[in-house]
Structure 1
Amino acid sequence: MDTRLLLISHASTAAQRAGRFPADDPLDARGLAEAQAARTRLEIADDADAFVSPAACTRETAAALGLAASVDAGLADMNYGAWQGRRLADLAAKAPQDLAAWARDPDAAPHGGESFSQLVKRVGEWLDALNGAKDRAPNHALDVIAVTHAPVLRAAIVHALGASPAVFPRIEIAPLSMIELRRSSRGWTWWPASH
């Protein structure tokens, strides 16, 4: 059975706008308003299976989009280890070599965290294990929606294209962006999202 997957990055958080690494931040009033406004522009199928990262910002985004989504740990944000909750500017001042290595080397990870390569592997395993929970007609594609984090969308693109994790930092994903991936007999492909 073919699968059509729409991945949506969560609405912006105050921590993002302050340049902080995430720390399970909820949406603030601005992020919630952005998510509610996006509900009208994003084309979301009513009968799609919906999943969400365990993080507060993704669960709140999914609710604002009108999705009754199941929490799936495979959609969790990148693990930033000791950098969780810290400002990027502070790290650039205190640990510039570590930050530079992390930005250049897909196998480098924050202390106690996850590298880009590890994230791509984890997300690829989630994608490849994805299957429908609903009964479908034999020729009916499975529609799945997942609300998650920008790094997870980037990792999904890298996996779908079979690209090196080294391209990871060259992919930009804004809050409330949507990408479409499709799986068929030839594997995953990246499609322009229609919205």
Structure 2
Amino acid sequence: MRQARFPVDEPLSRRPEALAGPARLDGFSRGPELRCAQTAEALGWDAAVDEALADLDHGSWRGRSLAEVDQNELLAWMTDPDAAPHGGEPVSAVLKRVADWLDRQGDVGRLGVVTSPAVARAAILAALAAPAAAFWRVDIAPLTVTQLTGSPGRWTVRETGLPLG
């Protein structure tokens, strides 16, 4: 993300030697991307891959900068949650996918998850029952912690933006 390009499946730009994650976790999951695997490894987590935690699919825009994509298409994508001019996944689909994932969590205890900013945004919107239009209004910095508490249908955003490690 340092180069302001849509993600492909790039490695971390800086591989941390070790990170300290939240203490006392009962399980670990991660998105399928290489950067998620590397972050989980740096945390010392043997995290199970969960496709529901995959980053938003940017389709034909993968690897391209904002300046390299059609600006009218970009505007449509950022203002219409159902738009997918890149041929990938619309924002509304990632919102539904993550909300469904949260609904399936049941009694999992304290679960540590490594995923993308898009999935963290979607989880926050699901917890707040916020509209899809709020997706771009949540800023998730790399290597930060977002913590949700509760259970399906009753999620609360406890904190977000806490530096990891």
Global fold match (TM > 0.5): yes
The structure having more radius of gyration, on CA atoms, is 1
Distance 1:25 1:132 in 2: 33
1:17 aligned partner: 2
How far the C-alpha of 1:65 sits from its partner, in A, is 1.0
* Root-mean-square deviation over aligned CA pairs: 1.9
Do structure 1's residue 54 and structure 2's residue 32 form an aligned pair? yes
TM-score where L is the length of structure 2 = 0.90
What's the secondary structure of 1:100's corresponding residue? helix
Q: Which residue type is aligned with residue 134 of structure 2?
A: V
Name the counterpart of 1:189: 156
1:130/1:105 Cα in 2 relative to 1: closer, same or farther (>3 Å)?
A: same
Q: Which of structures 1 and 2 has the larger relative contact order (alpha carbons within 8 angstroms, sep 6+)? A: 1
Residues 77 and 149 in structure 1, CA contact (< 8 A), matched pair in contact too = yes
Distance in 2 between residues matched to 1:185 and 1:173, nearest whole Å: 23
Post-superposition CA distance 1:33-83 (Å, at most 9, x none): 2x73xx23x4232x4210011110000001001111011111000011111
Judge conservation of contact 2:125–2:134 (CA < 8 Å) in 1.
Answer: yes
| Partners of 1:117 and 1:164 in 2: CA distance | 10
Q: TM-score, normalised by structure 1?
A: 0.77
Change (3 A) 1:73 1:184: closer
Tell me the percent identity.
Answer: 41
The structure whose residues are more often helix, as a share, is 1
2:135 is the alignment partner of 1:168: yes
Matching residue of 2:112: 145
Q: Report how many aligned residue pairs link the two structures.
A: 162
Mark the CA change 1:72 to 1:186 in structure 2 (over 3 Å): closer, same or farther. Answer: closer
Q: Which residue of 2 aligns with 1:136?
A: none
1:111 deviation in Å?
2.6
Q: Is the partner of 1:125 in helix, strand or coil?
A: helix
Counterparts of residues 86-101 of structure 1 (less than 5 Å): 86-91=64-69, 95-101=70-76
> Is contact 2:106-2:152 (8 Å) kept?
no
| Structure 1: runs of 5+ lacking an equivalent | 1-15, 134-141
In the alignment, the residues of structure 2 paired with residue 55 and residue 185 of structure 1 have an alpha-carbon distance, to the nearest angstrom, of 26
Separation in 2, partners of 1:185, 1:24: 30
